[in-house]
């Protein structure tokens, strides 16, 4: 935006590539396309260097936190609201039509997916689950956070830590929510 203000034009893809140290201009174009899809950039149809950042209408929503979910071995959990997390529904990919809820992560079975103990996962109540989605699931009466995998017509839950086994349902596997976002509370360092 500073270059746009100073020169009246947006930087070229080559300038963006150099500034952010991208390997190629193709990478720049992929990032620009992703930002356009998410609504963070608009492109003027008839100009080459005319990207604009639209005025964002932030839609803050309070998402209920329903306790903790094990990211380790599955366990029984209660469904009491322990608080709320406020976030921009648009940047969290939250839909107006689906029930959005949050769970605090307990354990380390999802560290390979960069989900750590204490994180808050934002989930949507969804009937549609895709192979590879991270889900809150009820498996044989116990709740856990894992990656949903479908292979050879059978589904199971996969941990993102090699110390934990895959969970193959003996009786039931019910998806309670599909992860759409993550909130990480940064710990403040003490000043000496």
User: Judging by DSSP bridges, how do beta strands 100-106 and 60-70 pair with one another?
Assistant: parallel
Which of helix, strand or coil describes residue 141? coil
Q: Dihedrals φ, ψ of 185, to 5°?
A: -85, 120
Q: Choose, from 2, 74, 109, 158, the residue flagged as catalytic.
A: 109
Which of helix, strand or coil describes residue 35? helix
47 among known catalytic residues: no
Q: Choose, from 146, 158, 174, 185, the residue flagged as catalytic.
A: 146
Tokens 């990480």, located at residue: 184
146 among known catalytic residues: yes
Look up residue 76 and give its two tokens: 């029984």
Nearby residues of 142 by Cβ (< 8 Å), 6 or more positions away: 74, 75, 76
Residues belonging to the active site = 109, 146
């Amino acid at each position: 935006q500073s270059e746009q203000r100073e020169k009246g034009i947006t930087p070229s893809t080559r300038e963006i590539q150099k500034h952010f140290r991208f390997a190629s201009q193709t990478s720049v174009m992929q990032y620009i396309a992703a930002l356009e899809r998410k609504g963070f950039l608009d492109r003027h149809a008839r100009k080459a260097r005319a990207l604009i950042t639209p005025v964002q209408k932030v839609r803050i929503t309070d998402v209920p936190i329903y306790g903790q979910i094990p990211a380790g071995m599955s366990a029984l959990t209660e469904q009491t609201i322990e608080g709320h997390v406020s976030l921009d529904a648009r940047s969290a990919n939250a839909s107006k039509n689906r029930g959005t809820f949050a769970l605090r992560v307990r354990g380390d079975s999802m560290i390979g997916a960069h989900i750590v103990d204490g994180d808050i996962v934002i989930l949507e109540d969804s009937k549609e689950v895709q192979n590879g989605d991270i889900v809150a699931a009820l498996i044989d009466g116990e709740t856990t956070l894992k990656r949903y995998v479908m292979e050879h017509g059978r589904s199971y839950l996969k941990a993102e830590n090699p110390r934990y086994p895959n969970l193959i349902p003996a009786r039931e596997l019910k998806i309670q929510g599909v992860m759409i976002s993550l909130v990480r509370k940064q710990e403040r360092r003490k000043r000496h």
